[in-house]
Amino acid sequence: MKGIILAGGNGTRLAPMTSVVSKQLLPIYNKPMIYYPLSVLLMGGITEILVITRPQDLPMFERLLGDGSRFGAHIDYAVQDTPRGLADALIVGRRHVGTDDVALILGDNIFHGHDFASIVADAIKNNVGATLFGYEVSDPERYGVARLDRHGALIDVVEKPTDPPSKLAITGFYIYSNEALDVAAGLTPSARGELEITDVNKYFVDRGLARIVPLTGGFAWLDAGTSESYIDACNYVHAIETRQGRKIACPEEIAFDAGLIDTDELLVAAEQFDSSEYGSYLVQLANRSAA
């Protein structure tokens, strides 16, 4: 399984904050936004990751993430010179994915909940065509929404419906078989001139090869793409980390717990952050394991 983080786009809904920097480089409380989708992939055991971004932002992502080795991963980069829709990530990332299956996650999506790593790992293990993750929202007309049969099986995905069939929104995290690459390559742009990820999802739904995993029971899903949702995400992470004393989306910690990096490598990673609170946290993790 290969991973793709889509960190392109112009972030116009967050302007002027995004006038000179990629949205996915903005901080969500105390760490860059891209750390959150990166952590989701690492939790699922995905270590071969492609970051897709704009040409002008590429050097900053390379400086921030490097080759991924400090996370026990290998990170490559690709450029999307102009936004062409979410499904375009499967076209841009085709060489990276090769013959493997693929997990695509949007760079502004934040997930948090108990045992999420096991949920992701199970979804990867049991995927046949497409596995989508659903989250109940109060305003489903703003999203792609799942239609379920009476047994809870996914039978349709409706984009921004005026009469929503459910409140279960499709989140920005998708697990696909390799066939999705050909599906994306064969798409026709929509009326707004983009390759729609909903069309990829509907391809698998129509063939009975898609399932949805509802994220319930205390899960949080935040799309930090607007000013309001952005500050909500910052406040959420601050509240949880302050109460629990543990970080959300610390990729070095995830890599360390998974055995992808050892204590010495964790301490080397901590040195990059000098005396910052983040660096101190990584040192504490290393000391705790050595005790």
Predicted local distance difference test score (pLDDT) of residue 255: 98
- Token pair belonging to 214: 């509802």
Q: Which residue has the higher pLDDT, 75 or 192?
A: 75
Confidence band (pLDDT; 50, 70, 90) for 40?
Answer: very high
Q: What is the pLDDT of residue 108?
A: 96
User: Among 65, 37, 44, 71, which Cα is nearest to 256's?
Assistant: 71
pLDDT tens figures, 243-255 = 999 999 999 999 9
Share of the chain above pLDDT 70, in %: 99
Q: Is residue 290 predicted with pLDDT exceeding 80?
A: no
- pTM of the shown model: 0.96
Cβ–Cβ < 8 Å for 232, 222 = yes
Q: How many angstroms separate the Cα of 230 from the Cα of each of 63, 112, 113, 223, 291? A: 24, 15, 19, 8, 38
> Alpha-carbon distance 217 to 113, whole Å?
8
Residues 178 and 97: their CA atoms lie apart, in Å, by 8
Q: For the chain, how big is the Rg over CA atoms in Å?
A: 19
Q: Is the pLDDT of residue 125 over 80?
A: yes
pLDDT surpassing 80 at residue 291: no
What is the identity of the amino acid at 248? I
Each residue of 266-284: pLDDT tens digit?
999 999 998 899 999 999 9
Helices (H), the chain: 35-43, 58-65, 88-92, 94-97, 116-126, 179-185, 197-206, 227-244, 251-257, 263-271, 277-290
Instruction: Kindly state the tokens that stand for 274.
Output: 């000098």
Q: Is the pLDDT of residue 97 over 70?
A: yes
Interval 227-243: pLDDT, tens = 999 999 999 999 999 99
